[in-house]
Amino acid sequence: MFIFTAKFSRRRLIIFLAALAVLCAGVWGLWQTLFSPDGAEGAMASGAAAVHTNEDRIAYLNSWGWQVSEQPVTTEEVLIPEQLDESYADYLALQSQQGFDLEQYCGKRVKRYTYEITNYPSGETGVQASLLVYRDTVIGGEVFTTSLDGFMHGLAMPT
């Protein structure tokens, strides 16, 4: 068994603890930059929002003016392809208009939560809102209907 002892003056102890705190903050910042696909500034994008729970996701949709079902109609894991070809152009443009940049998430697995909308302005039924969530952050979303003459638009309430 080994016993280590050290004698510090109060001043040296404070300097040591301050240096340790700065080191920890630096390591945390580096971790966030390296392992978050969008870095620190991505979470501040106009469309991005932190959603940790179902209630947070519902509140996020409410902030856009939507009233939705209490539970998602579907919850699924989606793999965003490594390469987004031309078939994704319209969808990427829709997301970009809302402040989302899905290209940062190529190759990542995300969750898609889909909710039934109960207050669509035209009174139409069967309209749903979908949120793409990566690590508790909304990275995309849309409003759509699956009917034969269906539509898709951004999360903003149509006028």
Say what the pLDDT of residue 3 is. 81
At residue 27 the predicted structure's pLDDT band, cuts being 50, 70 and 90, is low
Q: Specify if 2 maps to a domain.
A: no
Q: What is the dihedral of CA 101, 103, 109, 115, to 10 degrees?
A: 40
Domain of 147 in residue numbering reads as 41-153
Is 70 a residue whose pLDDT tops 90?
yes
Q: Are 143 and 154 in contact (CB under 8 A)?
A: yes
* Statement to judge: residues 30 and 62 lie in one domain: no
Q: Specify if 68 maps to a domain.
A: yes
Phi, psi of 152, rounded to the nearest 5 degrees: -145, 135
Average pLDDT on 134-142 reads 95
* Statement to judge: residues 45 and 30 lie in one domain: no
Note the pLDDT tens digit of each residue in 74-120: 999 999 999 888 989 999 999 999 999 999 999 999 999 999 999 99
* Statement to judge: residues 67 and 85 lie in one domain: yes
Locate 78 and state its tokens: 């989606």
At residue 46 the predicted structure's pLDDT band, cuts being 50, 70 and 90, is very low
What domain count does the chain have? 2
* Statement to judge: residues 18 and 87 lie in one domain: no
* Statement to judge: residues 71 and 135 lie in one domain: yes
* Statement to judge: residues 32 and 72 lie in one domain: no
* Statement to judge: residues 134 and 63 lie in one domain: yes
* Statement to judge: residues 138 and 74 lie in one domain: yes
Q: Specify if 71 maps to a domain.
A: yes
* Statement to judge: residues 121 and 49 lie in one domain: yes
- Of 61, 32, 49, give the one whose Cα is nearest residue 157: 61
Q: Specify if 159 maps to a domain.
A: no
Q: Specify if 158 maps to a domain.
A: no
Phi, psi of 4, rounded to the nearest 5 degrees: -110, 135
Say what the pLDDT of residue 38 is. 44
Min mean pLDDT across 25-34, 35-44, 74-83, 112-121 is at: 35-44
Q: Specify if 52 maps to a domain.
A: yes
Q: Specify if 131 maps to a domain.
A: yes
* Statement to judge: residues 122 and 52 lie in one domain: yes
Say what the pLDDT of residue 152 is. 94
pTM: 0.70
* Statement to judge: residues 52 and 95 lie in one domain: yes
- Averaged pLDDT of the chain: 84
* Statement to judge: residues 133 and 96 lie in one domain: yes
Q: Specify if 1 maps to a domain.
A: no
